[in-house]
Amino acid sequence: MNLIFLGPPGSGKGTQAKRISQKLGLLHLSTGDLLREAVKNGTELGKKAKAFMEAGNLVPDELIIGLIEEKLAAGQLDGGFILDGFPRTIPQAEALKEMLKKHKKSIDRSILLSVSDEEVIKRLSGRFYCPKCNAGYNYPMQMPKQDGRCDFDGTELRRRPDDEEDVVKNRLEVYKKQTSPIINYYQKESLLRDVPGDGDGPDRVMARVLKVLEEIA
Ligand code: AMP
| 56 CA to centre of own chain | 14
Which of 16, 35, 123 to probe ligand 1 with, by most ligand atoms within 8 A of CB?
35
Yes or no: domain 2-26+79-115+175-216 corresponds to CATH 3.30.540.10:
no
DSSP readout, 71-109?
A: HHHTTTTTT-EEEES---SHHHHHHHHHHHHHTT----E
Which of 36, 37, 59, 67 to probe ligand 1 with, by most ligand atoms within 8 A of CB?
59
DSSP readout, 27-85?
A: EEEEHHHHHHHHHHHT-HHHHHHHHHHHHTPPPPHHHHHHHHHHHHHTTTTTT-EEEES
48-70 per-position pLDDT tens digit: 999 999 999 999 999 999 999 99
Which DSSP letter does residue 214 get?
A: G
Ligand 1 pocket check for 110: Cβ under 6 Å? no
**Where exactly are the structural domains of the chain?**
2-26+79-115+175-216
Q: How many residues does the chain have?
A: 217
| 97 CA to centre of own chain | 18
Q: Check residue 90 and give its pLDDT.
A: 97
Q: Which atom of ligand 1 lies closest to the CA of 162?
A: 10
Which of 16, 57, 58 to probe ligand 1 with, by most ligand atoms within 8 A of CB?
58
123-153 per-position pLDDT tens digit: 888 999 999 998 999 888 889 999 999 999 9
Distance (angstroms) between ligand 1 centre and the Cα of 59 equals: 7
Beta bridge partners, 194, equal 112
In which band, very low, low, confident or very high, does the pLDDT at 94 lie, cut at 50, 70 and 90? Answer: very high
Ligand 1 pocket check for 86: Cβ under 6 Å? yes
Q: Check residue 216 and give its pLDDT.
A: 84
Ligand 1 pocket check for 127: Cβ under 6 Å? no
Distance (angstroms) between ligand 1 centre and the Cα of 82 equals: 15
177-207 per-position pLDDT tens digit: 999 999 999 999 999 999 999 877 889 999 9
Distance (angstroms) between ligand 1 centre and the Cα of 146 equals: 30
Q: Which atom of ligand 1 lies closest to the CA of 31?
A: 16
Closest C-alpha to 211, from 189, 196, 199, 190: 196
Closest C-alpha to 30, from 160, 122, 123, 145: 160
Q: Which atom of ligand 1 lies closest to the CA of 84?
A: 3
Query: C-alpha dihedral over 208, 104, 182, 22, to 10 degrees?
Result: 30
